[in-house]
Structure 1
Amino acid sequence: MDTSISKHQKNVSAVIHLSTFSKYFIPFGNFIIPLLIWTSNKDKWEFIDENGKEAINFQISILLYSIILGIVMIPIALFTAWEFIGFTNILEHNSHNVDFNFDHISSFGWNAGLISIIAMLGIGLLLMDVFCTIIATIRANDGLVYNYPLTIKFIK
């Protein structure tokens, strides 16, 4: 890496990382805005190119991990809801009886536990996204390239 990194390069790299927070205001803003800034500057400076690749790869990795958690969560949530509905007899037209037979409650507890674990993993992904992006922004402003953890290198 070139040792003479200008203040402009540091600022543009920091903005690339910081612009990933735009996903909270604009759908897919965490991909669109950093991609626009990165592609307009990647051929001019290697420092901006490296930071842009890291930021976009991390955002794609976070999206992939979130999709995997969602795919795992959907069937568990559906089966848990189905078992919860089993407590009441909703098909009776004139009366709604609550069935106090708790034979099927054991699997409900397992599913609720799995949902809690997956929810905590999702919160962990969110916190990792926020903290790592802040650290990457600070490092880019200091003239360093931050390598995000758990990042799959889609763009090399």
Structure 2
Amino acid sequence: MEVINQSEKVIDRQLLTLTHLSQLLNYVTGCGGLIVPLILWLAQKDRVEGMDVHGKAIVNFQLSLLVYTLISIPAILLLGLGILALIGIGIIGFVLPIVNAIRSGNGEEPSYFLTIRFIP
């Protein structure tokens, strides 16, 4: 953790990386992948540089995954296409947080594709 100025925000890449990796709690708890990053973002967005951008990207991504999942459930009845969509959502929901955790550790901006911007 580097301090820019005493009155300025701090650069904490480890916390940003942890925030991205906390999305993987979805595979353990079911909904922790949205709640934990949301709490970290709201608590640290004024103190950690870049947390606002990363937090918004994470929450938008998790909400988008939720919407895509809700859409694909009725699509299961349509020739089973919803099952393929659920498999794709599961893979994307696992891989992209890991990729963006590495990017945040390197000081890069998050990049989640197919994300609906609920929070601008």
Judge same fold: TM > 0.5, yes or no.
yes
Going from structure 1 to structure 2, the CA distance change for 1:71 and 1:118 (only over 3 Å counts) comes to: closer
CA contact (8 A) 2:25 2:33 kept: yes
Q: Which has the larger radius of gyration?
A: 1
Q: Give the alignment partner of residue 30 of structure 2, picking from 19, 27, 31.
A: 27
* Residues matched between the structures, number: 113
Percent of residue pairs identical: 31
| Residue matched to 1:49 | 52
Whole-angstrom distance in 2 between the partners of 1:19 and 1:55:
10
Deviations, residues 50-92 of structure 1 (Å, cap 9, x unaligned): 111111110100010000001232xx2xxxxxxxxxxxxxxxx
Whole-angstrom distance in 1 between the partners of 2:48 and 2:74:
39
TM normalised by structure 1 equals: 0.66
4+ residue runs over 4 A deviation: none
Whole-angstrom distance in 1 between the partners of 2:26 and 2:57:
17
The alpha-carbon deviation at position 28 of structure 1 amounts to 1.2
Whole-angstrom distance in 2 between the partners of 1:59 and 1:10:
21
| Residue matched to 1:61 | 64
Stretches of structure 1 lacking an aligned partner (at least 5 in a row): 77-110
CA contact (8 A) 2:74 2:82 kept: no
Counterpart of 1:121, as a letter, is A
TM normalised by structure 2 equals: 0.85
The alpha-carbon deviation at position 26 of structure 1 amounts to 1.9
| Residue matched to 1:155 | 119
CA contact (8 A) 2:12 2:49 kept: no
Counterpart of 1:28, as a letter, is C
| Residue matched to 1:95 | none
